[in-house]
Amino acid sequence: MGFRAHPSVSAYILPPEYPGFRQQDPDISDTWTCWIRHNPTVGMRRTQQCIAPSTSQCGNGVQDSGETGTDCGGPCAAGKKCADASQCTVSADCNSNVCATQICLPSQCGNGVQDSGETGTDCGGPCAAGKKCADASQCTVSADCSSNVCATQICLPSQCGNGVQDSGETGVDCGGPCAAGKKCADASQCTVSADCSSNVCATQICLPSQCGNGVKDNGETDQDCGGPCAAGQKCGNNKLCSVASDCTINACSSGRCALLSPPTLVGKPPGTAQWGSSSIAAGDFNNDGKMDFILSEYHNYRAELFTGDGTGVMTSLSTLNTANHPAYGAAGDFNGDGNLDYVAVSDDYGYLRLFQGSGTGTFTLTYDQNDGKRKATVIPADYNGDGKLDFAVSYYADNKVYLYIANNANSFNSPGIFAVGSNPRKMASGKFDSDNYADLVVINENDGTISILLGKSDGTFGTATTISVAASINTVAVAKLNADNYLDLILTVPNTHSLSVLLGDGNGNFGTPNTFLAGGNGPSKIDAADMDLDGILDAVVAFDYSGTQQVGVLLGKGDGTFYPATRFFALTYGPAHITAVKVDGDNRPDVIVTGGDSYTIFLNTGP
């Protein structure tokens, strides 16, 4: 090793690796090392020769292997820790003793406190280089957030900034999981009001904020409806409007939302039948493509077939011996031959008879049973899901329903017997739950209740569920009255001049009865059909009160409620039964009403 002179040398240090040199205490910078050579022959001699020390990696101005920053961290960390924003491997590499995501952060970023500048506890702001904030934390810029999405000073999920409407979002990058920071603009879809920047969501549309302020303003045709609000909040009946689209019923007349005009029912001259005309079983009994019906005639101990000509004119074709006092009859293809058959029950003599139809308008008695018990109604349906028609019969004096399961075309098992309420009379069937077996609703006239019997695969019913409705309930119709596609119930309540609706949930359950005025007095008989062809089922009701008998139509709103009847069509007798079927060829449901010694057909000619 050579020597270099150091001009300020006043003492010398002898390096041990140089034999023959003697070390002296230095009085110079510790970056230099100097020596004196001792020669025993010539004696002591001072020199001006020094050498620079061998350079250490922790002071060479280069980030060497293992260092996390230039001359700091790693092997240098014991004496030289790295400054904030330097790279690091462990917290010991950093002056602040805080290393996150391999970045030295200020010491405040690890103290468990939201310090000045941080947008969350130990995250965001000065800590964001290594500690970004989680979703739902506060933020100032997107770089504060682990998702890199900051909106309205809230860190949002990363999906909220990808330009795509992801699962749960009600609009592109807005609403749903993004709503805390990104609400959706007017006219966007929404689920709840919190999805919308206006905080107004109606019929799944974000509406302007004015549409929920309780004031008629800025183009609204009435308070919070119509105009700019019409996309989600249309105006109800009799509210102010400018155009039809302002109105829930899509009809604006003279500046107000007006009810759609109920259909006109043109009554044909009453047809002659026998005294005690009651139930109607409608269908094409002679296979000519035109609607016919069988009318049970209580006091003449028979039923009578009337065939139609397609214009509303009916002709008596044949009679069926139903035995004494037929209370009710129904049609169905019991033997699977494609021809309609007819089943009837008698009131006070206990008969149950099935007549096989020929398809030409004649019938043969194929099943005849008389147990001496009084019966009110028979309802054919496939109650056990085997593809054959069975029938349920209400035994009103016994407070029971008997279920007859078909063996073959003309044979039935001994009936299952099921307890219901007091004085079960009218019934109707439908699939009230999700299985493939017909179910039954029974009106218990004496106690103002209905019983729900759910069919089972073994040809039985489960235990009846009883629901209180109202005193004097008379008849029931089964129909889908709102948009959930489940069957609902609508009943007449004559004593209070009302109808009562129970909405089904598709699992065999029904909600609390919603009772409302029918518009006429004494609603007694009911059926459901789309009378005005608007895609919403309406209620067709026969009224009977204080000597006034008439028919009216309650237009459905599509939500399980109805507009009261406003037009009425006179009857000449007290109504015993009503049904809505297509009698002529115009595709509109018409109406047949029976009572006294006649029947009346009302042709639906539209609004």
Q: What is the mean pLDDT of residues 502-528?
A: 96
So what's the pLDDT on residue 300?
A: 83
* Pairs from 84-88 (Cβ < 8 Å, separation ≥ 24): 85/129
Q: Does the pLDDT of residue 579 top 90, yes or no?
A: yes
- Residue 504 pLDDT level (bands cut at 50, 70, 90): very high
Is the pLDDT assigned to residue 224 strictly greater than 60?
yes
Task: Give the model confidence (pLDDT) of 125-175 as tens digits.
Answer: 989 888 899 988 999 999 999 888 898 898 888 888 888 888 888 889 899
pTM to 2 decimal places: 0.61
Domain presence at residue 227: no
Name the percent of the chain lying above pLDDT 90: 55
Residue 393 belongs to a domain? no
Query: Residue 461 above 50 pLDDT?
Result: yes
Nearest to 484 by CA among 545, 542, 559, 557: 559
pLDDT on residue 260 = 63
pLDDT (0 to 100) of residue 198: 86
pLDDT at 51 over 60: no
* Number of domains present in the structure of the chain: 1
Please report whether residue 304 resides in a domain: no
Judged against a pLDDT cut of 60, whether residue 435 lies above it is answered with yes
- What DSSP line would sit under 482-541, residue for residue? STT---EEEEEEGGGTEEEEE-B-SSS-B---EEEE-SSS-EEEEEEE-TTSSSS-EEEE
The answer as to whether 290 is a domain residue is no
How do residues 54-70 score in pLDDT, each as one tens digit? 447 888 889 998 999 99
The string of pLDDT tens digits covering residues 8-50 is: 444 444 444 444 444 444 443 444 444 444 444 444 444 434 4
Q: Would residue 200 count as lying in a domain? A: no
Q: What angle do CA 52, 55, 57 make, to 5 degrees?
A: 170
Q: How far apart are CA 450 and CA 401, in angstroms?
A: 13
Distance CA(261)–CA(529), nearest Å, equals 16
Q: Which residues contact 183 (CB under 8 A, 6 or more apart)?
A: 174, 175, 194, 195, 196, 197, 199
**Amino acid residing at 66:** G
Q: Classify residue 421: in a domain, yes or no.
A: no
Which of 55-59, 221-225, 456-460, 532-536 has the least mean pLDDT? 55-59
Give tens-digit pLDDT for 285-295.
Answer: 999 999 999 99
Q: What is the pLDDT of residues 305-336, one digit of tens each?
A: 999 999 999 999 999 998 888 889 999 999 99
Q: Identify whether the C-beta of residue 107 lies closer than 8 Å to the C-beta of residue 97.
A: yes
Nearest C-alpha neighbor of 50 from the set 20, 90, 94, 11: 11
CA-wise closest residue to 599 among 568, 563, 575: 575
Residue 13 lies in a domain: yes
Is the residue at 70 inside a domain? Answer: no
- The mean pLDDT value for 203-229 works out to 88
* Secondary element (H or E) of residue 477: strand 476-479
Residue 259 — pLDDT band, cuts 50, 70, 90? low
Containing domain of residue 36, as a range? 1-54
Task: With a cut of 60, say whether residue 124 has pLDDT above it.
Answer: yes
pLDDT mean across residues, the chain: 87
Residue 494: closest CA among 560, 537, 448 = 448
pLDDT bin (cut points 50, 70, 90) of residue 588 is very high
Which tens digits make up the pLDDT trace of 478-493?
999 998 999 999 999 9
Q: Examine the pLDDT at 596 and tell me if it is beyond 90.
A: no
C-beta neighbour count of 384 within 10 angstroms: 21
Which DSSP string do the residues of 57-101 spell out, in sequence order? GGGSSS--TT-SBTTBSGGGTTT-PBPTTSB-SSGGGBTTS-EET
Segment 220-235 shows an average pLDDT of 89
